[in-house]
Amino acid sequence: MNVRYLAARIIDQVLKGHSLPEALTAENAALNPRDRAFLQALTYGVCRFYFQLDTIAKHLMTKPLKKKDQVIEALILVGLYQLMAMRVPPHAVLKETVAASASFKKIWAKSLVNAVLRQFLRQKETILTQIEQDPIGYYAHPAWMIEMVQAAYPTDWKNILQGNNALPPLSLRVNQRKVSRENYLKKVEGDIIPETKQGIVLKTPLDVNDLPGFLAGEVSVQDGAAQCASELLQLEPHQTVLDACAAPGGKATHILEIEPSVHLTAIDINPTRLQAIEENLKRLGLHATLFAADVLATHAWWNGELFDRILLDVPCSASGIIRRHPDIKLLRRQTDIATLAMEQARLLKGMWSLLKPGGLLLYVTCSIFPAENAQVVSAFLQTEKTASEDTILESLGVRCEVGRQILPGSINLDGFYFARLKKRM
């Protein structure tokens, strides 16, 4: 099977609204490990630089393709990405990418793909110079996202966009109930993540199955920013804790590693995603009470006992983790932000009623947009008289009107927002 053909099919699926991991899983099952890795590199790379590649393709084609031929445009982008960013000889790129076009049974596609890629090779320097004058092409983001980032962060926006385009490191959380961070670092080549107590980042990424002690529960894959969430909960022994939107379970298992005596309830609306939490708990030798339910439908899961701590990691635009999920650039729409903010406010209000007086709620997103972060929390504080900010004193990211924001491109962490709220007695 021609890997370029599969890559174009996957990109086409993403353009139709499917997530990249979902589309990739559906196509790569029959491939050998080498081809599977190449396919992943191709598809993630095209999604990461889609808006740059698309701008270049438009420069090279005399007229746009019809909607029904979108998959051929996807194949052209696959070819362009190889020529721009991969260590594949140009003659091999041309041969294999043009050959892939035959699989789509569109007779005209072969000559078009061949002509566009050859024209790019002839005019590469001129085209790349032109792209530098086009913000969408140069920064490889949709226009609305560039504008929103620029408006929110007028001095940092370039670093944020460039940070989104960077390859993410493999970050790990060491289970210090089983091994110290210092001793685990003797098994791998890596450095500590100074913003965390358990985090390390590997100098060279490894397959999860090759990580020393992974199956024994010594380590989990988790970005350093995500690790900060559980550490900010200020956990104490035997507390009751709710992880309100828990899948895939990284923060839930971290809570139990920090304080195994807590009584943790983890909720997620997606039963399939809840299975990932079960698997992680089993691997790490931990226990929690799990429910597949709408967390706001409390009659389906809640026993009436108020919680000492609530972790509310709300659904969001995921604009802070684009470096790990570049398909977000293609899947998210500007209109999503207001819709998400309404849902976030609804979740915050609903979960507040489950918190004990004197308890803490940590509001978390992996977004960088204030409309999902400080604005949601500020509006809540203005109307909820029992709530006040419990200021996060750690030098984590930048201070917002309420809470703190880690920005992509500032330190080698994903973009996360945290606000800790306390319920008055």
The residues facing 199 across adjacent strands are 173
Q: Are 20 and 60 in contact (CB under 8 A)?
A: no
Q: Is 47 a catalytic residue?
A: no
What would you report as the CA-atom Rg of the chain, rounded to the nearest whole angstrom? 23
Query: CB neighbours of 301 closer than 8 A, spacing ≥ 6?
Result: 265, 267, 291, 293, 295
**Measured distance CA(252)–CA(280) in Å, rounded:** 9
Distance, CA of 292 to CA of 267 (rounded, Å)? 6
**CA 3 – CA 36 distance, rounded (Å):** 8
Beta pairing class for 263-268 and 289-292: parallel
d(CA 417, CA 320): 9
Tell the residue number behind the tokens 């052209």, with chain if given.
76
End-to-end CA distance of the chain: 65
DSSP symbol at 306: P
Please give the Cα distance from 193 to 108 (Å, whole number): 52
Q: Who's near 139: CB < 8 A, 6+ residues apart?
A: 51, 146, 158, 161, 162, 165
b/e 342-368 (16+ beta carbons within 10 angstroms → b): eebbebbebbbebbbeebbbbbbbbbb
Distances (CA, A) of 219 to 102, 210, 261, 298: 46, 12, 20, 33
> Of 47, 245, 366, 400, which is the active-site residue?
366
**50 with 77: CB under 8 angstroms?**
yes
Identify the three-state secondary structure at position 178.
coil
Catalytic sites, residue numbers: 366
